[in-house]
Amino acid sequence: MSENLFEILHQAFTPRLDAIFLRPASGAPRSYREVTARSAAFAAALRAAGVTAGDRVSVQIEKSPDAVALYLACLRIGAVHLPLNVAYTAAELRHALEDAEPRIHVGRPQDATRAAGMVEEHAGLKILTLGDREEGTLVEKAARLPPYEDVIPRAGSDLAALLYTSGTTGRPKGAMITHENLATNARALFQTWAWRPDDVLLHALPIFHVHGLFVALHCAMLGGSPVEFLPRFDPETVRAALPRATVMMGVPTFYRRLLATPGFDRESCRHVRLFISGSAPLPEAIFRAFAERTGHAVLERYGMTETGILTSNPVDGARIEGTVGHRLPDVDLRVRNADGSTSAPGEVGGVEVRGRGVFAGYWKRPETTRESFDEEGFFRTGDLGSLSADGRLTLAGRSSDLIISGGYNVYPKEIELHLDEIPGVGESAVVGLPHPDFGEAVTAFIVAEDGAAPTADEIRAALRERLAGFKHPRRVFLVDALPRNAMGKVQKSLLRDRHADAYAVEEA
């Protein structure tokens, strides 16, 4: 039997085909039937352009109902969906295209020129824009073809998506996510969050990450639920749309910004049954302030691109601030000490997971894949945590120096490599410092070469071409030397401690 996720989702929402699926902030709402039909139209256009099962289709487009239809079109024809952050620069896009070798890249019309420049370099790659009426766009091509209504059978182990996530090596690598991974996690969340027939989801997340694309949309599709589909997180728009919603999912920055929004109160949340937070630690102060203002205990859960969602606080029962809850069904989760022994309750160790939701490995990186799993098939998440006697996980930081800024991951190594190339930079160290809005802020420490330090403007200008804006250091400190230990290793913890208050007053 085919395990194509498209079929699983389609079967689930078929009883509600004529109900509203996506209600965008502007433009007409789209029913499940309309989005399904659009996916068949796009499927035809992709196939006509030469996409076959297993081919990658990279997309770097704005959030829209058509972007969702394009994701479903990829699933339908067995292609591997590769969503990319719209903030990525040409250099970041190029890295993903070179690595993933997609058959088709679908970009925004305004990016057509830069993408076109890459075509010559990558034999066989075709560029399309989603576009509207102009000739050669996906929409226009689809309009000229009969829709492709079939669904290509897939095994659970076949790839459904490739998501780029940075590594300690500094260059993003593709996490290979299968149809079975996605279906397993979607069903577990649908059950754990007790999805209801009358649920309405408020969706303000980007759809190029696991959180917005899989976690949020799969729950809605399994329930045939309507989605308030906002283009981005704008606190005022979210406040206005909330009274129509029963569930909202967001990163901690969403909750902090809502609390700072005039008029956000109990009344705004009158129909909401569940506020869910994840992707970054939810500060206890926000949890408490939110509960006081709205009467809602935000439900915190924990996950990763490579694994989907792993743990969740309960819908019924106590949601404990600072913990990320119990493991989900189908997740094998343990905490181990460096010597391989199982950590005692309350003892901090490395979080390791196994299960049908855990990814198939890193694209074209068998060595890194092998190193990421232990001898029993457990994936080492890189997160540190402890389990209570009753099985609740509390995270205690990470073993790598990953920075999470507003729910986006930033790997210091990637930024340092670029900083070190700027004339006048001798060496650099990048750390995350506490930030009132983003949780952590990317911060750089630079030692000038021969005293000729670049100015902050020069650094900004140099990075603009190379790195998406959310990765740019919010502050650059010029220092005489980086603190090092006896082995010569940069002591980032000292930098973090010494400058812990750097953003204490900013935008507070």
- Please name the helix (run of DSSP H) or strand (run of DSSP E) that holds residue 369, with its range, or none: helix 366-372
We find the least distance from the C-beta atom of residue 380 to ligand MCA, in angstroms, to be 16
Place of tokens 């754990």: 192
**Cβ(82)–Cβ(100) under 8 Å?**
yes
We find the least distance from the C-beta atom of residue 337 to ligand MCA, in angstroms, to be 25
Cα–Cα dist 19/31, whole Å: 5
- DSSP helix/strand/coil, 146: coil
Residues of span 469-488 touching ligand MCA by CB under 6 A:
469-470
Among 279, 311, 372, 381, binds ligand MCA (CB under 6 A): 279
Q: Which is nearer to ligand AMP, 384 or 478 (CB)?
A: 384
Cα–Cα dist 458/239, whole Å: 39
In sequence order, what are the residues at sequence separation of 6 or more whose Cβ sits closer than 8 angstroms to the Cβ of residue 350?
335, 336, 337, 338, 380, 381, 382, 383, 384, 399
Q: Does 279 bind ligand AMP (CB under 6 A)?
A: yes
Residues of span 153-212 touching ligand AMP by CB under 6 A:
165, 210
We find the least distance from the C-beta atom of residue 321 to ligand AMP, in angstroms, to be 11
Residues of span 227-246 touching ligand MCA by CB under 6 A:
232-233
- DSSP helix/strand/coil, 323: coil
Among 60, 253, 343, 369, binds ligand MCA (CB under 6 A): 253
Q: What backbone torsions phi and psi does residue 478 show, to the nearest 5 degrees? A: -90, 120
Strand ordering across the sheet containing 201-203? 30-31, 20-24, 227-229, 201-203, 247-250, 274-277, 299-304, 308-312, 326-327
Cα–Cα dist 348/33, whole Å: 49
341 burial class (0-12, 13-18, 19+ CB within 10 angstroms)? exposed
- Please list the residues that pair with 20 across neighbouring strands: 31
We find the least distance from the C-beta atom of residue 208 to ligand MCA, in angstroms, to be 8
We find the least distance from the C-beta atom of residue 7 to ligand AMP, in angstroms, to be 26
173 burial class (0-12, 13-18, 19+ CB within 10 angstroms)? buried
Residues of span 85-144 touching ligand MCA by CB under 6 A:
none
Q: Which is nearer to ligand MCA, 211 or 319 (CB)?
A: 211
Among 6, 255, 302, 411, binds ligand AMP (CB under 6 A): 302
Q: Which is nearer to ligand MCA, 181 or 305 (CB)?
A: 305
Pattern 363-392, ligand AMP, x by CB under 6 A: ------------------x-x---------
- DSSP helix/strand/coil, 315: coil
Cα–Cα dist 219/121, whole Å: 39
Q: What is the DSSP letter of 423?
A: T
Q: Judged by CB under 6 A, which stretch of 89-97, 210-218, 328-336, 475-483 contacts ligand MCA?
A: 210-218
Q: Does 251 bind ligand MCA (CB under 6 A)?
A: yes
Q: Judged by CB under 6 A, which stretch of 24-32, 93-101, 297-305, 336-344 contacts ligand AMP?
A: 297-305
Binding site for ligand AMP (CB under 6 A): 165, 210, 278-281, 300, 302-305, 324, 381, 383, 395, 398, 404, 409
Binding site for ligand MCA (CB under 6 A): 205-206, 209-212, 232-233, 251, 253, 278-279, 303-305, 405-408, 438, 469-470
